Each structure stands twice: as C-alpha cells, then as structure tokens.
Structure 1
Amino acid sequence: MITDPLLVRIGEAVQLSHQGERETARLLFAEIWDEIGGEQGDPLHRCTLAHAMADVQNDVREELLWDQRALAAADLLTDARVAQAGVPLPVAGLYPSLHLNLSECHRKLGDLDRAREHLRHAQATIGALGDDGYGQMIRNGLERMAEQLR
C-alpha cells in the first residue's frame, strides 16, 4: 500500500484525469511539480508525477518531454526508496510502462526507429512485472505497439 503522501496526491490527480478532468489534473500535477522542486525533487516523486503528467498533455511533444523526465528520474531510483514509499513494484517494474509510453510518443511523431528502440527496451524489461492485472495491461500495450510498428 502506498504510504507516501505526495504519491497519494498524485494518484488522486490521476483519478481525476481518468474521470475526464484532464485540465484539473494537469493543474494539480503542475502544483505538485512546483512543490517537489521540479527537476531537483525526489526522483520517485518526479518519476511518478512526470509519468502521469505526460498522459494529460494535448501536444505529443510535451507528452514526450514529460515521459523523458519520468525515465530520467527512474534511472536515479533505488528499490529501497520505492519500497519505503509503499510502491508494490521494484524499480525494474517501472521501465516497461515508461518505455512503452516513449515508444508511443515517437510513433505519433513519426520517428519509428526510436519507437522500435523503446519498444525493445520495454520488451526486455517486461519480466520484472508479475502476471497480475497491471502486468497484463502493459503486456497488451506492448503487443498493440508491436503490431502498430510492423
């Protein structure tokens, strides 16, 4: 169970975006981004927020920028920090989704080589996910992306 209060707030904003309140979610993400210190903030907060912020962007270039921020922050994370926050995944479990999102951005921008590169990274790290609902959702996304890039 997630115990980190900022991650809980980010999760609440994600729920707003899933309910169609994308603009409200984007404003909350921006507010939290400022609170955590932006690029200088805790890598777990930056990774989580940037990963979610990417999903509420209307411009694919902005989406790509946020997805790149999420990946860069993930590279600074440790399993101990993730566990301390109550996140039920090891750091390795974050990469399939991060790379899948980057693949999708590059596909939308027409950079199919980069899209395939991130798809390969996602496929190479998928073993870190369990056979639960989340893992299956990411696996299905990888299958769809592979099909789109054929």
Structure 2
Amino acid sequence: MDIEDHVMAEIGRAQELAVAGERDRARGAFEKLWEQVEEAGDPLHVVTLAHFAADVQDDPARELEWDLRALDAVPALTDARAQRHHPSLRVAGFLPSLHLNAAAAYAKLGNAAAAAEHLDRAQLHCRHLADDDYGRMIRDAITRLRGEIPTPGEGRGAHTC
C-alpha cells in the first residue's frame, strides 16, 4: 500500500467534500490539485482526480472534459502503479465506471450516439468487475442509462451487462 502518497490523500479529502454535498468546495480542491497532478503526470493521480472532479461539475460539458481526461490517462496507468496504492486495484476494473460516466455526460449533452458508444465500452469491460455491491451498482447504472438513451433501430433498453 502506497502510504506515503500525499496526493491520493488530498484527492480523498476532496472526494469526502463531494460525498458530503460540498460540491463547490470539492470542485475548488480538485482544481487546485489538478495544477500539481497535471505537472507531475502520475497516471493514477490523473485518472482518480479527473474521475472524481467530473462528478462535481455543474456544466455537463466540463463534466465531459474531466471524464475524457480520466479516460485519456488510462493507457499510461499500469496495474503495478495502481497496486502500489491498493493491492486489489486493476486498471481494467476502472474502465466500466470511466466509460459509464463519459456516456452519462454525453447523454446530458444530447449526444446519444457517443453515449451509446461509451455504454458499449463500459458493458464490454463489465467482465472485469466482481459480483459484489460495486460491480452490481455499475452494471445496474449501465442498464439504467442504456434505457434512457435512444438507440437507432433498437429503441430503448436493448442491451444489458
């Protein structure tokens, strides 16, 4: 476990603000941390911060920017780096949630085709999720969002994980 990772600790504190409903404070904390994280370039920091920062954006376009930053950083992230933070982490396990969040942002922006594409990717990576509460939550969210966006020629809700 990466006990000395002060950046992950700061990201965690900012996420605690978000969970407590203090979106503005969390957003400010994430933006301040981004200056440090972007410069250093540790992919775990980039993916984690961008993933959490997306959730506290009021503007769906800004939310999507953060979601895409997280996804763009994934290829540079290795399991070894993720596991230095926590031994259970696997990069493949991040992908369903990251693509789900991008799909949700695209749906908010009215881009059903891009939303469906990211839902397909999220669904593809569901096999990397455990059959636990988190895995079920992500699978259910994919199914729910799939039912909310129109799919050309198929109607709504045609796919599930």
* Partner residue in 2 for 1:22: 23
TM-score (norm 1): 0.93
Structure 1 unaligned blocks of 5 or more: none
Whichever structure has more helix as a proportion of its residues is 1
Distance 1:118 1:135, change over 3 A: same
Deviations 1:36-88 (A, max 9, x none): 2x165111100100001101111000000000000001121111111111162
In our comparison, the structure showing a higher alpha carbon Rg is: 2
Question: Are 1:58 and 2:58 counterparts?
Answer: yes
Taking the aligned partners of 1:71 and 1:87, their CA distance within structure 2 comes to 21
Give, in angstroms, the shift of residue 147 of structure 1. Answer: 1.0
* Partner residue in 1 for 2:6: 5
Aligned residues: CA RMSD? 1.5
* Partner residue in 2 for 1:32: 33
Q: Report how many residues are paired.
A: 149
* Partner residue in 2 for 1:92: 92
TM-score (norm 2): 0.87
Give, in angstroms, the shift of residue 126 of structure 1. Answer: 0.5
Taking the aligned partners of 1:73 and 1:113, their CA distance within structure 2 comes to 23
Of the two structures, which has the highest relative contact order with CA contacts closer than 8 Å and spacing of 6 or more? 1
* 8 Å Cα contact 1:96-1:123 kept in structure 2: yes
* Partner residue in 2 for 1:77: 77
* Partner residue in 2 for 1:124: 124
Structure 1 runs (4+) greater than 4 angstroms displaced? none
1:56 is paired with a residue whose SS is coil
Deviations 1:99-126 (A, max 9, x none): 0001111111111111000000000000
1:58 is paired with a residue whose SS is coil
Taking the aligned partners of 1:77 and 1:43, their CA distance within structure 2 comes to 5
Structure 2 unaligned blocks of 5 or more: 150-155, 157-161
